Structure 1
Amino acid sequence: MKRNPLVPYYLIMVLGLVLVFFLGIKGIGDAKEIAKEKEGGAEQVEEFDPEQYANTSCISCHGENLEGQGSIPSLHGTGLSKDEIADILANGQGGMPGGLVPADNIDEMAEWIANLK
């Protein structure tokens, strides 16, 4: 019994056409959703969480509990005002570079650090 060597290629072609058809339909639905987002209908504003930001960004230098490591100071009980902390976050000081915290969130982060005990 001889098999036709083109059958697998025909099956692959049919599968490809079916995928193109269904992915095209999916794309039409996504296009409507994208258009709605561009109009501002599905706009989502993500809130800044200073504690979460500190746990992801600051612990690499200031230690797991933000209590400092070696020459790097602790963030607990700094004795600095909110404005002084905001200035350090924006411009840097010593070994800490400025601009690590997004500019829009510096005040929130400074207040959170100022209130750490």
Structure 2
Amino acid sequence: MKKTLVVLIIGTSFMLAACGGGKSSDNASAGDPEKLYKQNCSTCHGGNLEGNIGPALNNIGSELSKEDIEKIIAEGKGSMPSGIIKGEDASAVAEWLSEKNNE
């Protein structure tokens, strides 16, 4: 039982660190959705939107609207934690992703 709990805690910590834990204080990326994605999302969703731990996003715009994507960023989904990106940055990333249709 203790081993299971320890593994769960370590796994959760890893997931949180991998999915947005690498937030940068580099303000040069503020508002640049592609840089924000690479800093906060690419570990789980892949550097080229191909998917990894999380689902592929290279065609997400044909499945979800900007508003739907923004809601997922804000609230999380499945093992994705909520609020990885916030405010105007979340809106910019959601808009950028909503334009992805089999590029």
With normalisation by structure 2, the TM-score equals 0.62
Aligned to 1:77: 59
Structure 2, unaligned runs of 5 or more:
1-26
Q: How many Å apart are 1:50 and its aligned residue?
A: 0.4
CA distance in 1, matches of 2:82, 2:32: 19
Q: Which amino acid aligns with 1:91?
A: E
- The answer to whether the 8 A contact 2:44-2:52 is kept is yes
What does the per-residue CA deviation read over 1:42-98, in whole Å, with 9 as the maximum and x for residues that have no partner?
A: xxx96510001111221111122121025x211111211111101000111111111
CA distance in 2, matches of 1:92, 1:83: 13
Give the secondary structure class of the aligned counterpart of 2:41.
helix
Q: Displaced runs of 4+ in structure 1, greater than 6 A? A: none
Is 1:56 the equivalent of 2:39?
yes
Identity %: 38
Aligned to 1:35: none
Q: Which amino acid aligns with 1:68?
A: G
CA distance in 2, matches of 1:57, 1:107: 14
Structure 1, unaligned runs of 5 or more:
1-44
Kindly indicate whether structure 1 or structure 2 has the higher relative contact order, using CA contacts under 8 Å at least 6 residues apart. 2
**Bigger radius of gyration:** 1
Q: CA RMSD of the aligned region, Å?
A: 1.8
